[in-house]
Amino acid sequence: MEQSPVGPVDATVVPRFAGPATFARLPSLDAVGHADVAVVGVPFDSGVSYRPGARFGPAHIRQSSRLLRPYNPAQDVSPFAAQQVADAGDIAANPFDIHDAVRAVEAGADQLLDRADRLLTLGGDHTIALPLLRSVHKRHGPVAVLHFDAHLDTWDTYFGEPYTHGTPFRRASEEGLIDRDRSLHVGIRGPLYAAGDLADTEELGYGVIACTDYDRLGLDGVVTAMRARLGAGAVYVSVDIDVVDPGMAPGTGTPEAGGLTSRELLATLRGLSGLDVVGADIVEVAPAYDHAEVTGIAASHVAYELLSVMVRRPGHITPDGG
């Protein structure tokens, strides 16, 4: 008989400020052996172009996740009871050699996907999305990338370096990792390097829903447009926390004014219900610039909504977790 998932520590028995330092105080992957979803950290930020500090993001998000509770009323699901979620610790990456770090993240993800069906990765800077997509591609082929960010991250190089936090989605397109008919940026805003940047990203296979489209289309219109672009098939979700306005998520390396509210981001993620989300990352949380833990709390809730969406993937369970 299949065992019931092992869930988080009961907050009515052990206070939230005590207990294990895992994500949501869940069991470790070693304790459960195999998981439907493994939460893994990648404390790496050598690919940043402005403020460093995202290497401390995984621990910060885990700390903030102590506030999460077992039942998600917005999605009518208990994400820790309906699937086995476990914390796999961190993938160590060389902070002095970005090429070696990219290889290490890919290898670490490959190893974890022998023990878990899906990964939810806590960054770290956005460089890590490329090796994670390489690993996902080995199992699913080209996937639709749903990229939430203030920035396109499809530029070619920074200072001649092809692997940075501003280049992963160009490399992913060039390597054939993405479905060029279904991939999408959401939340893009702010100044660009050149007038042709948006045309360039569309040539690489990405549609664009700008932050201003939330004003023009409304939340429901954005979700409808997002789902129309994603269609059917595997989806990988990559969330740069700077998609949220710096008034609500100041703890990040490259903030841009005029962003989404955390409520808008969470509601948009709920719009993925029923799609086949095969993996996700949450990146660019830099706690040194955070205050009152607000960015970490936003990121932990993003993770929670993504875990809830993974429960409601095709062929899994009914929305109430039954």
Average pLDDT of the segment spanning 45-57 = 97
Average pLDDT of the segment spanning 36-41 = 98
Is the pTM higher than 0.85? The answer reads: yes
148 C-beta neighbours (distance < 10 Å), count: 24
pLDDT for the residue numbered 2: 58
Q: Which of 264, 302, 280, 273 is nearest to 186 (CA)?
A: 264
pLDDT for the residue numbered 315: 72
Structure tokens at 70: 């077992």
Average pLDDT of the segment spanning 269-298 = 98
pLDDT for the residue numbered 223: 98
pLDDT at 319 over 90: no
Residue 206 β-bridge partners: 183
> How much of the chain exceeds pLDDT 90, in percent?
94
pLDDT at 173 over 80: yes
Q: In which region does residue 25 sit, left (phi positive, over 0), alpha (psi from -120 to 50) or beta (all else)?
A: left
Q: Which of 266, 247, 265 is nearest to 255 (CA)?
A: 247
Architecture of domain 23-311: 3-Layer(aba) Sandwich (3.40)
**Letter for the amino acid at 173?**
S
Report whether 285 contacts 250 (CB < 8 A). Answer: no
Average pLDDT of the segment spanning 276-295 = 98
Chain mean pLDDT for the chain: 95
What are the CA-CA distances from residue 192 to residues 196, 210, 256 (Å)? 9, 13, 12
pLDDT at 95 over 90: yes
Q: Which of 37, 61, 7, 75 is nearest to 239 (CA)?
A: 61
pLDDT in tens, 200-241: 999 999 999 999 999 999 999 999 999 999 999 999 999 999
